[in-house]
Amino acid sequence: MQPLDEQQAAARTWFEHLRDLICAEFEAIEAEAGSDARFVYTPWDRVDPSGEPGGGGVRGVMKGKVFEKVGVNVSTVGGVLDGDFGKTIHGAGDDPRFCATGISLVAHMANPHVPAVHMNTRMLATTKRWFGGGADLNPPLPIAEDTADFHAVLQAACDAHDPAHYPRFKQWADDYFYIPHRHVHRGVGGIFYDHLEGDFARDFAFTQDVGRAFLDIYPRIVRRRMATPFTDADLAQQRAWRGRYAEFNLVYDRGTLFGLKTGGNIDAILMSLPPVATWD
């Protein structure tokens, strides 16, 4: 893997810093619930298809009283995209060299009244250079207040940069986080964006604000709901919904495919899968 340039290094530093902020907040929530659960971090290295070192990352996982399973991964990988897959990646059709750095998070919660969540932001460089990512809320038992607050914070982050961002990126999330064979959405949405390119400083600032917005709103929702009593029926609904979540991530999710096609760490790629799920 080639040494990172200034922009790539700045992006990697931010994603690692955001990881540290999020993990500290999630550990604080566990402590508030009387749990001593902490993240366990496992570094991994990648070998490029060329045989050269291809970067790597750190997989962070916590299993606690509030967070039944939460994974927060950061990675910075690069080298040469392999075969026909490389031709499908923006800007890599004629030159397969790439560098990707980002953060990916999925939280599955012990209490079915606390929504599961997904967030990832990333920067990719081929012959093009762009940011992508977003965040979406995935409640087994949707609560209108939580959905409204989650979207309001994301909209405020978008509006601070471009009033056109939120309606466009919300619709993109609605279209993307959909399970065609079930004819249902994966959750209650959020924002999703990709191929945000042009002005590095502007697009990087927006991507940072998406991360900050997530760090602002999601812990508030967790604290609001984590002590809510629940029934066996609520738990059954959560586990059935998790089956739908797993189906989307294994069949349709682009990040899962990218990780598998580029030789990423299997445990880090599949950390998004829930710890317990059911299918009728």
The tokens describing 40, both together, are 């366990």
The answer to whether 37 touches 76, Cβ cutoff 8 Å, is no
Q: Is residue 1 part of a domain?
A: no
When pLDDT is cut at 50, 70 and 90, the band that residue 94 belongs to is confident
Q: Which of 17, 108, 113, 118 is catalytic?
A: 118
Predicted local confidence at residue 2, as pLDDT: 85
Q: Is residue 32 part of a domain?
A: yes
Predicted local confidence at residue 250, as pLDDT: 93
CATH number of the CATH domain containing 244: 3.40.1500.10
Predicted local confidence at residue 50, as pLDDT: 79
Domain that holds residue 212: 6-272
Q: Is residue 184 part of a domain?
A: yes
Three-state secondary structure of 214-271:
HHHHHHHHHHHHCCCCCCHHHHHHHHHHHHHHHHHHHHCCHHHHHHHHCCCCHHHHHH
Predicted local confidence at residue 84, as pLDDT: 74
pLDDT of residue 116 exceeding 90, the answer is yes
Q: Tens digits of per-residue pLDDT, 221-243?
A: 999 999 999 999 999 999 999 99
Predicted local confidence at residue 142, as pLDDT: 97
Q: Is residue 140 part of a domain?
A: yes
> What is d(CA 74, CA 132) in angstroms, rounded to the nearest whole number?
15
Three-state secondary structure of 99-127:
EEEEEEEEEEECCCCCCEEEEEEEEEECC
Q: Is residue 36 part of a domain?
A: yes
Helix-strand-coil split of the chain, %, nearest 5: 45, 30, 30
Q: Please indicate whether residue 49 or residue 196 has the higher confidence score (pLDDT).
A: 196
Predicted local confidence at residue 13, as pLDDT: 98
Average pLDDT of the residues in 49-65: 93
> What is d(CA 118, CA 154) in angstroms, rounded to the nearest whole number?
13
DSSP assignment of 168-229 equals HHHHHHHHHSEETTTTEESSSEEEEEEEE-S-HHHHHHHHHHHHHHHHHHHHHHHHHHTT--
| 138: nearest Cα among 156, 159, 158, 112 | 112
When pLDDT is cut at 50, 70 and 90, the band that residue 187 belongs to is very high
> What is d(CA 208, CA 204) in angstroms, rounded to the nearest whole number?
6
| 267: nearest Cα among 23, 67, 95, 42 | 42
| 188: nearest Cα among 273, 97, 117, 93 | 117
Predicted local confidence at residue 87, as pLDDT: 73
Residue 168 exposed, middle or buried by CB count within 10 Å (0-12, 13-18, 19+): middle
Q: Please indicate whether residue 92 or residue 173 has the higher confidence score (pLDDT).
A: 173
Residue owning tokens 């949405």? 189
Q: Is residue 249 part of a domain?
A: yes
Average pLDDT of the residues in 170-194: 96
Predicted local confidence at residue 223, as pLDDT: 98
Q: Is residue 159 part of a domain?
A: yes
Give the number of domains in the chain: 1
Q: State yes or no: is 17 an active-site residue.
A: no
Q: Tens digits of per-residue pLDDT, 129-168?
A: 999 999 999 999 999 999 999 999 999 999 999 999 999 9
Q: Is residue 33 part of a domain?
A: yes
